[in-house]
Amino acid sequence: MDQTTMAKPAEIARAWYLVDATGIPLGRLASRIAQILMGKTKPIYTPNEDVGDYVIVVNAGKVKLTGDSEHKKNYYNVSGYNGGLRTRSAGTMLREYPVEMVERAVWGMLPKGPLGRKMLKKLHVYAGETHENEAQKPVVLDLSK
């Protein structure tokens, strides 16, 4: 009988990937990034361990929104006070808060709870071309296919 191997935190080797979001639909970008953060692309994937890699996303402001989602899709925040609902369209988010938009899309595809929050910390999103993680020597990953 074959034994199932469980990944141990000491055995996990993490890589750094650089993703250019220019022209990639937001949902497809977020789902591929979530798979990498969870470690589903690795043979040692274990659902109850964080075995994923680090992801750096550049050009978040140039991500593509399909259909009429720029006007119809809304993002909501509630302060907890009466009348404290803030609504922003996807077009506004893309123009003014592209980093938050990509982070929220990826968070929606990660498991909720302490493990998902740990995975989300490995995501680094930048609105422009430059990033602060050159020292990690990230491998360029082409997700435009």
Whether the per-residue pLDDT at 9 is higher than 90: the answer is no
Domains and CATH numbers, the chain: 15-63+98-141 (3.90.1180.10)
For the chain, the average pLDDT equals: 95
pLDDT of 135 over the 80 cut: yes
The count of residues in the chain is 145
Q: Tell me how far apart the alpha carbons of residues 101 and 103 are, in angstroms, rounded to a whole number.
A: 5
133 CB neighbour count, 10 Å cutoff: 14
- Scanning 39-97, the segments in alpha helix (DSSP H) are 69-72, 90-96
What is the spatial distance between Cα 19 and Cα 55, in angstroms, rounded to a whole number?
Answer: 7
Rounded to whole angstroms, the Cα distance separating 63 from 90 reads 11
Listed residue (59, 52, 13) closest to 33, CA to CA: 52
What is the pLDDT, as a whole number, of residue 7?
87
Q: What is the pLDDT of residues 19-55, one digit of tens each?
A: 999 999 999 999 999 999 999 999 999 999 999 999 9
Q: Which residues of 58-86 are buried (b: 16+ CB within 10 A; e: fewer)?
A: bbbbbbebeeebeeeeeeeeeeeeeeeee
Amino acid letter, 138: P
Confidence at 6, pLDDT banded by 50, 70, 90: confident
Given a cut of 90, whether residue 93 has pLDDT beyond it is yes
Strand ranges in the chain using DSSP code E only, listed in sequence order: 16-20, 54-58, 74-78, 85-89, 123-125, 139-141
